[in-house]
Amino acid sequence: MIRSPLMTVMTDAVMKAARSLKRDFGEVENLQVSRKGPGNFVSAADHRAEEILRGALEKARPGYGLVLEETGVVEGTDATHRWHVDPLDGTTNFLHGIPHFCISVGLEREGQMVAGVIYDPIKDEMFVAERGKGAYLNNRRLRVAARRDMADSVVYCGLPHLGRPAHPRFLHEMAAVMAVSGGLRRMGSAALDMAYVAAGRADLYWERDLQTWDIAAGLVIVREAGGFVTDCEGGLNPMSTLSVCCGNEVLHRELLGLLKKPLAR
């Protein structure tokens, strides 16, 4: 595990918010049987976790700006630093009592992501990375998988939500990937998808129409685990284009080629 002051600030904030989420997750499982449903409760849980994170980060690093899923952009007096915060990534899983969700916090310095923490409170798995210091899961150093054959690979993806215009393109991409890969998975948390690539549990991951807080921490973690991260067109700044494609060097290049295949007309 990385023992820097910055990582201590980030992990302490995440652990405080995680205690709140774990209590709320226990309650939401009970709400599944109610007629009204747990939607309003989950929204409140999301906001509570965000308030805890914001309070802890602002106290530890006064002046840093924030990009928050629920609150939006909070300008800081320090224009060189911004936190990108997702208090509950995997909201639909949480809503349905599925124990696969996380808290994600990334730090941007002068336009570059330099540190990330992704914490799964149910499995007690803390994925962390700081630029130049490696990536870790709890106390274990992370490396992306070394597979080189797409036929042996497990590929994670995101599905376009209802009302988004990307369904035809995704179906085309999915068909291309399914035809050559060992298997396709939709897990429901972009941040954990990236963390799992860093840990070698998934070989590849791609998704479009994301937000900065979905991918900020994961960018650092995958890169520090030896992985390659671009947007879905091969561009080097996923934070601006809000799409992501990641894996090891060989498979990442092959997946980009599949995603770039022209759509049949």
Catalogue all structural domains in the chain, each as residue range(s) with its CATH number: 5-141 (3.30.540.10), 150-259 (3.40.190.80)
Give Cα separations from 88 to 100, 159, 184, 221, 234 (angstroms).
10, 18, 24, 18, 28
Residue 214 marked ligand-binding: yes
State how beta strands 183-185 and 228-230 pair.
unpaired
Task: Give tens-digit pLDDT for 201-241.
Answer: 999 999 999 999 999 999 999 999 999 999 999 999 999 99
> Would you report the helix, strand and coil content of the chain in percent, each value rounded to 5?
40, 25, 35
**pTM of the full structure:** 0.94
Tokens of 59: 């106290």
Task: Give tens-digit pLDDT for 160-181.
Answer: 876 667 788 899 999 999 999 9
> What pLDDT score does 36 carry?
46
| Residue in this structure with the two tokens 């124990």, named with its chain if needed | 99
Task: Give tens-digit pLDDT for 46-83.
Answer: 999 999 999 999 999 999 999 999 899 999 999 999 99
Beta strand extents in 77-158 (DSSP E only): 78-89, 102-109, 112-120, 125-130, 135-137, 140-141, 154-157
Q: Which residues of 11-46 are buried (b: 16+ CB within 10 A; e: fewer)?
A: bebbbebbebbeebbeebeebeeeeeebeebbeebb
